[in-house]
Amino acid sequence: MLHIEDLLQIDTRQGTNNQHTFSHGNCLPYTGVPFGMNHFVVQTADQRGSWYFNPHDRTFQGIRLTHQPSPWMGDFSQLLLAPTAGHVVKSDLFHHQSSYRTEEAVFSPFYLKVKQERYQITTEFSPTTYGGVLQSRYLKNSQPGLFIRSQGPSEIAVDVANKTVRGYITNASGSEDKDFKMYFTLRFDQAIDAATTGYYTDDALVPSTTYAGTDPIFDIRFPAAETLTTHLATSFLSQDQADLNLSRIENDSFDTIKQAAADKWLSYLNKIEIENRNKEQIKTFYACLYRTCLFPQKFYELDEANQPQHYNTLAKKVQPGYLYTNNGFWDTYKTVYPLYSLIAHEEYEEMLQGYLQSYREAGFLPKWLSPDERGMMPGTLIDAVIADAAVKGLATDLMPEFLEGMLAGATTKSASGNYGRRGTLDYLKYGYVPLDYHESVNHTLDYAYSDFCISQVARVLGKGDIQATYQKQSRNFLNIFDENTGFMRAKDKEGNFRHDFKHDRWGLDYAEGSTWQNGFATYHDFAALITAYGGERAFFDKLTTLCNTSPTYGVEGYGFEIHEMSEMAAVDFGQVALSNQPSFHLPYLFNYVGKPASTQVVVKQLMTELFNAGWDGFPGDEDNGSMSGWYIFSSLGFYPVCPGSGEYVLGIPLFDKATVHLANGKTLVVEAAGNQAHTNFVSEVALNETPHTALAIQHESLMAGGNLKFTMALAPVDREYSNAEKPFSLTTNH
């Protein structure tokens, strides 16, 4: 079991060594609490835009209150807090920043500690759900201070008598409400020196206790003090709510808040206990598990009666109810929510309440929230999040309204491109999305899968007619399969395939990949796809070719090399391209033709070669916990290829023993007998000492608890598998 000392060993800089042309995770070293409204990050280089932190930088510009879920989405409502001391030469960040020792700093999920060498200030920070506490120790005999920096229209007011600063900032980054504000309240334990407090115009300080303008640089100064403690809270609702949020923590000491933040992390991370001789792999596991508990972020706050309230950016008013933000379902439906279905039911159900609230306000279920709908990526893959919950018995009271929302998205063309399915009416007309639409192949495959998800929710609700209609429609993926090339290809409205097809051309008809990575997204019915290929041998050969084909790529679809291309080439795992979400399930597909040994060896090599706990810890964009979730599931020995089916496809465990404390209070123990670095295969599986010959396992079997034992092997064990032993496919299971 982890303790607070173990938390300090989780280095949040995993996967943070990035630039816009190459990703080792595109992560930020977030300090926060699980699903907290704010995260906090050391800022080292504002001149690099969204890549404002790099672990190799030795510059410290401040602690940034951030809501950036991905560098490709950018930040919103960001605020920089920078401790300072002495005279300010110039007010810009370049002249104000200090060096720090990266090897001495502490980057932990619940705690930050940085020493500014220039000013000899040691700053510690610990978070709460809606704020946190900053404690700075000033070692030089010079006047201490704290800079507040932000972007956009802002107002700041200093209450000298009560040692408080209040204000708001406006940098909403694509929000429906361009005037969307974040309010903040800071309270200090030292008196404020009004004479030396104020804002900068160019490099001149204007002494003032108020500010109203754009891009504030506000300097708060204090009489000489060895330690300054700052309690901070924010609100998206009002200044009064920011004050209320602060009132709930302002009497707590730094150590009390630090311990409370640690306890929140321990309550999540101890849901899975790992035992293994390879300690570096354990570090990687818990660094990944931490990343699955960061997003989505709470976008609601509790009023005086502890009832949830949120800001509706469409109606531009405060309304009751839960709301969550900062999540791209194209990424997270694959792994993050299936993980919650095992270990975090209450949180999962509350998130679903929030997404239903988004539907009520926008008329469409969300696709990519930050802070509201951004309309990014193909598909409407929240459908899978809903269906997975439905078949697992979660949030059952919400499912009738969710089904209404799913049907609205499947049949209604939105007036705004941000909402709903793109090419909806053409998909319904032709049975595929024509090539007039960018990334049409991905849209077609994702809509077919969403149709399956709709049918599953309808089945749970006893809506047989809807179930039958959408189950039939879910096989639309066959409409764009080309038997001659064995690939999914774009079609025009006349039913002709695009004539200038190239199997390794990225973009155009495919999202962030080629047909190799995107053409196998038939999660719910691989049996039908296998038949289209001409049988299991042909499908097995195709998968083997995918793995063994050089990682070539054509740039014509984009006109330049995108970073995902570079990352696929760098790791050299053929066309598997685990650097991006469309490939996550590919290694598991050998199970569908009864060849689990191929899955086992590929999955083990991916886990051991492409993941670590270091600054280069991921093979590509981590994306809101999704890639971390792939590692967690894969290391446990099973993976949710088809959310909404209620099962997991078996692979190969990485650890000697994993104890999973399930959300229902039961315990699942996963053991790997004979586990060695060189055992790349599984010879047999037993569930509660009974041989388990199937290549998948049901969710209810895992939730029943007990013992899942894999016996590891040096050489593969080959045998025939019946259709009943192969993973779920709509064609063979219904």
Q: Which pLDDT band holds residue 540 (cuts at 50, 70, 90)?
A: very high
Query: Are 448 and 476 a contacting pair, CB within 8 Å?
Result: yes
Handedness of CA 316, 75, 23, 262 (dihedral sign): negative
Nearest-10 crossing angle of helices 279-291, 254-269: 110
Asked if residue 141 has pLDDT above 80, the reply is: no
Asked if residue 563 has pLDDT above 80, the reply is: yes
Percentage of residues of the chain with pLDDT beyond 70:
100
CA atoms of 50 and 220, how far apart (whole Å):
27
Please state the rounded mean pLDDT for residues 128-132.
98
The 3 state secondary structure assigned to 225-250 is: CCEEEEEEEEECCCHHHHHHHHHCCC
Torsion of CA 682, 683, 688, 691, to 10 degrees: 140
For the chain, the structural domain boundaries read: 26-269, 322-501
pLDDT digits 0-9 by tens, 17-34? 999 999 999 999 999 999
pLDDT digits 0-9 by tens, 511-524? 999 999 999 999 99
Nearest-10 crossing angle of helices 626-636, 596-610: 130
Q: Alpha-carbon Rg of the chain, whole angstroms?
A: 26
Q: Which pLDDT band holds residue 173 (cuts at 50, 70, 90)?
A: confident
Q: Which pLDDT band holds residue 83 (cuts at 50, 70, 90)?
A: very high
Cβ-based neighbours of 305, under 8 Å, separated by 6 or more: none
Q: What's the CATH class of domain 26-269? A: mainly beta
Asked if residue 734 has pLDDT above 60, the reply is: no
The neighbouring-strand residues paired with 164 are: 159, 187
* Residue 456: its H or E element: helix 440-460
CA atoms of 31 and 107, how far apart (whole Å):
7
Cβ-based neighbours of 535, under 8 Å, separated by 6 or more: none
* Residue 42, both tokens: 């050391």
pLDDT of the residue at 146: 97
Query: Are 615 and 14 a contacting pair, CB within 8 Å?
Result: yes
Please state the rounded mean pLDDT for residues 417-428.
95
pLDDT of the residue at 398: 98
CATH number of 322-501: 1.20.1050.60
The 3 state secondary structure assigned to 144-193 is: EEEEEEECCEEEEEEECCCCEEEEEECCCCCCCCCCCCEEEEEEECCCCC
Query: Are 558 and 507 a contacting pair, CB within 8 Å?
Result: yes
Question: What pTM does this model have?
Answer: 0.97
| Range from 50-59, 70-79, 140-149, 655-664 carrying the lowest mean pLDDT | 140-149
Q: Which segments within 263-413 are labelled E, that is strand?
A: 272-275, 297-298, 300-302, 308-312, 317-320, 324-325, 327-328, 368-369
Q: Which pLDDT band holds residue 568 (cuts at 50, 70, 90)?
A: very high
Give the β-pairing of 210-214 and 300-302.
unpaired
**DSSP alpha helix (H) spans, 270-344:** 279-291, 329-332, 336-343
Please state the rounded mean pLDDT for residues 233-237.
98
Please state the rounded mean pLDDT for residues 335-364.
98
Query: Are 382 and 355 a contacting pair, CB within 8 Å?
Result: yes
Residue 29: count of CB within 10 angstroms of its CB: 22
